[in-house]
Amino acid sequence: MKKEFNITGTCIKEEHYMVNISGKIKPIMELIEKGKYFIINKPRQYGKTTTFHEIWKCLEKANDYLPIKLSFEGIGDEIFEDPKIFCPKFMGFLAESITVKKRGLSGIFTKYLNEINSFDSLGKAITNALKEINKKVVLLIDEVDKSSNNQLFLSFLGMLRDKYLKQKEGADISFYSVVLAGVYDVKTLKLKLSTEEEAKYNSPWNIAAEFKIDMTFNPDEIETMLQDYINCTSAKLDKKIISERIYFYTSGYPFLVSKLCKVIEEDLGKRDWLVNDVDEAVKRLLKESNTNFDSIIQNIEKYNDLYKLVEKVILGNELIPFTISRPMINLGVVLGIFNQKNGFVTIHNKIYEEYLTQHIVVGLQERGFDNGISRNIISTSYIKPNGKLDLEKALLKFQEVIKEKYNKTDLLKSDEFLENDLRLLFFVFIKPIINGIGFSFKEVQTSEEKRMDVVIIFRDEKFVVELKIWRGQEYHKQGIGQLKEYMQKEGVKKGYMIIMDKNKNKQFTFGEENGIFMVYL
């Protein structure tokens, strides 16, 4: 059987090219061996199900463990309507989930089914069943946040918590270890509750050990999947350079890592990969709709405050401190949208940043924010005969439309425009020019000039554009030096500046200085 890159469900070693995740499984197994209860809460398509499968395989090999793995996905909403339905069903799930080679133990669970009609009776039945099993029973429940009645599920967790505490005191028998997996952890489940339900929330999982294991793939781990691909196909590729390029775009988000590889092999039809193939795969991915992208958009549209925060992070020039106790920052992390860099909130990865920027820019245009500056922008007008981007021409056009649409006096009325709206307008303007061929990423720089650098990648060229406010000649000289350093870091020889000058006498001029093309507004 020919292997493939998998982006749905469980990854199976014999069927799929896989990242070696032994470095993640080992510390998880250590938690289980210590008898810990914990939850692996990570965003959608983050490798939770595959991780569960690997944990289950490790436990199956150990004679002193009995792993029971089940999922709340696809079991329907009916069982969550009433404890009288849920409790006996859950006991039945325990019996059904025991593997064939240990099937003889399933009857120990089923014989108590007729006695179960509440959480109290379920707890007693679990105690009696586990007394008869001379093994450490580990309960693994995937997709724990799929239940429609979250309060019933929280009550179920409360029952497990009580049994855990009594077991520690020697007053009960319960599961040796319980591992839950889902997008929401128990604390953030309350975000899904109604107002009345939220009032009932009482932290039923405060016994849980903290889960600190990084589930993203670092470049070395991505290399192991590329090596698997090389071994199976005899392909020629520089796995180190390509893994670093994949990480550059994905920040190790498991779905995105596998998706890019899948696009390169299947959509681009490549066997021997080049670094440019990763760039092309990113462009193709950004043009498509998939369940992962759909989920991200649905979530920011669902929570208006989250949408505003995403917009601020992507298009504003303000650095937002990463404070996980803030509800919308926490929610953004839970959903895989946010990450933190140097103590500030960032979009998790460059692919999400570009995709969300496109979505937000279209929303701004629909609301008429751009004052029509993006109308009649013909992208081909800014493409040179050799197919490369003529960024100087594009920036001069941007200067022209700002001059046409916004009177100089109007621009000077509002510091908010200088600090924020100019940057939004630039994104609205540049997107239709580079869309489909290139993409852009924002980098806010911490300085008194409140600079924002935009990195544009168009075909095989990279451009660095700095947007800033004029704050005097001395700061301007410092800014040139800082941009030069950034250009060197990004490996480009020419830089670009858009400078908003509050001086009423300043004209809409342009020119080149120290290898930097400057446009004044």
Percent of the chain with pLDDT over 70: 85
Q: Which tens digits make up the pLDDT trace of 59-77? A: 999 989 999 999 988 787 7
d(CA 158, CA 164): 10
Average the pLDDT over 204-215 and give the result: 88
Q: Which tens digits make up the pLDDT trace of 235-289? A: 999 999 999 999 999 999 999 999 999 999 999 998 899 998 998 999 899 988 8
CA 6, 247, 299, 178: dihedral to nearest 10 degrees?
70
pLDDT of residue 298: 94
Q: Which residue has the higher pLDDT, 190 or 223?
A: 223
Please write down the HEC assignment for all residues of 88-143.
HHHHHHHHHCCCHHHHHHHHHHHCCHHHCCCHHHHHHHHHHHHHHCCCEEEEEEEC
d(CA 483, CA 485): 5
Helix (H, G, I), strand (E, B) or coil at 10: coil
Q: Which tens digits make up the pLDDT trace of 115-153? A: 899 999 999 999 999 999 989 999 999 988 876 556 788
pLDDT of residue 329: 95
Average the pLDDT over 13-28 and give the result: 95
For residue 198, pLDDT over 50 is answered with: no
pLDDT tier for residue 203 given thresholds of 50, 70 and 90? low
pLDDT of residue 491: 84
pLDDT of residue 81: 86
For residue 204, pLDDT over 90 is answered with: no
Cβ distance 508 to 498 under 8 Å? Answer: no
Lowest mean pLDDT among 9-13, 75-79, 369-373: 369-373
